[in-house]
Every structure is written in C-alpha cells, then in structure tokens.
Amino acid sequence: MAEIRPFAPVKLVCGIITGREERAAEAERRLGERFGPVEARGPRYPFAGTAYYQEEMGPGLSRGFISFRDLIAPERLPDIKIETNALEEDLRKHFATPGRAVNLDPGILTAAALFMATTKEFSHRPPLRNGIYAHLELLFVRNGVKRLEWTYPDLRTEDHIPFFLDVRKTYLETLKPPR
C-alpha cells in the first residue's frame, strides 16, 4: 500500500479581468491584503477568446495574472474562490457598477499543473467543496506547457505562458531545501 503524505504547498495565482486599469490595481491591492504580498505580475492582454463577460462588464476587457509570495495549502482553494467572489461584489459596490467591475479567477500552480477554481460544473472539473470545482488548465512538461481540449481560449495562446513558466520556476526554487 502506498504511503499517504500531506500535499506539498502550492503557489496561489489569480487572474484579473476588467476593462479599466484602476479597477485591476484596486483588485490587486485588496487581493494582497487578503493573501499576502504579490510576488509577480504578468502583462495584461485583451480578453478576446470569448464574449462571456462583455454584457456584464462592457467591451475592451483584458486579463492579467498575479502570483503571491506565500505558498498555501492546496486545500484552501475553495475558500479562496468563495472569498474572491465576495471581493468581486465589494469591488462592484466600490466602483458603483451595475455588473461586476472585475472578474477574479484564483488558481493554484503546482510542479505539474495549473488549476483554476470555478463554480461551473463540467465533466472535466472535479468537485472540491462548497460548490467549487477544480479546472485543470495547463500541464507543465519538459519544454513548456501542454494545453488541454478545455483550456480557456486566452491560455491557448502564448500570451500568458511565459508568466506561468516564470512563476513555476520560482515555485520550484522555493521548494528546494536550503544548502
């Protein structure tokens, strides 16, 4: 029988979708208050792969990702998704918008993969807890990443991939024992 061991700590990341830079900055500030210092910030790219958020949030949306310095237990992901959903509502009120001012997509990066949290059930999304599912987004392979049939459209492009590879490199360095 295989030995059961605790999960390794993981890197928390969060995607921020919005049409206004000041909203992204405020979301990042509040995320940092809740989850610790932001360690890395990727460029923002047009969020053009789907029109899913346009009716609620307006045109000209872009998405950028951030990662946090402090590692977390992967079991925290459902609670973090619930907290970021509440933060979306706080930001809607702060910016006095009828719909969401920002969309926040928390996820965890492991040595092997990137998982995003979602409230939407689908065949490839295992349930975690309290209505939150894990969405396997990218696999890390020897020379980069492997995209999957269900990888979100903007992550099928090369735009955000260098960010995730850099975060993974930092994460793997963090896991190495001190010499």
- In three-state form (DSSP H/G/I as H, E/B as E, the rest C), the secondary structure along the chain is CCCCCCCCCEEEEEEEEECCHHHHHHHHHHHHHHHCCEEEECCCEECCCCCCCHHHHCCCCEEEEEEEEEEECHHHHHHHHHHHHHHHHHHHHHCCCCCCCCEEEEEEECCCEEEEEECCCCCCCCEEECCEEEEEEEEEECCEEEECCCCCHHHHCCCCHHHHHHHHHHHHHHHCCCC
CA separation for the pair 7, 124 (Å, rounded): 21
Query: What pLDDT is attached to residue 66?
Result: 99
CA nearest neighbour of 166 among 32, 15, 40, 17? 40
Query: What pLDDT is attached to residue 41?
Result: 98
Do residues 14 and 160 touch, judged by C-beta distance below 8 A?
A: no
CA separation for the pair 147, 140 (Å, rounded): 9
- 53 Cβ neighbours under 8 A, 6+ residues apart: 17, 47, 61, 100, 103
Q: What backbone phi and psi angles, to 5 degrees, belong to 85?
A: -65, -40
CA separation for the pair 134, 106 (Å, rounded): 10
Residue 11, pLDDT above cutoff 90: yes
Residue 4, pLDDT above cutoff 90: yes
pLDDT band at 134 (very low <50, low <70, confident <90, very high): very high
In the chain, what are the domain boundaries? Answer: 15-174
Q: What is the pLDDT of residues 50-78, one digit of tens each?
A: 777 888 898 999 999 999 999 999 999 99
Q: What is the pLDDT of residues 14-35, one digit of tens each?
A: 999 999 999 999 999 999 999 9
Q: Provide the residue type at 27 as one letter.
A: A
CA separation for the pair 98, 21 (Å, rounded): 18
Query: What pLDDT is attached to residue 143?
Result: 83
Q: What is the pLDDT of residues 143-179, one digit of tens each?
A: 899 999 999 999 999 999 999 999 999 999 999 887 7
Q: What is the pLDDT of residues 94-133, one digit of tens each?
A: 999 999 999 999 999 999 999 999 999 999 999 999 999 9
CA separation for the pair 169, 59 (Å, rounded): 34
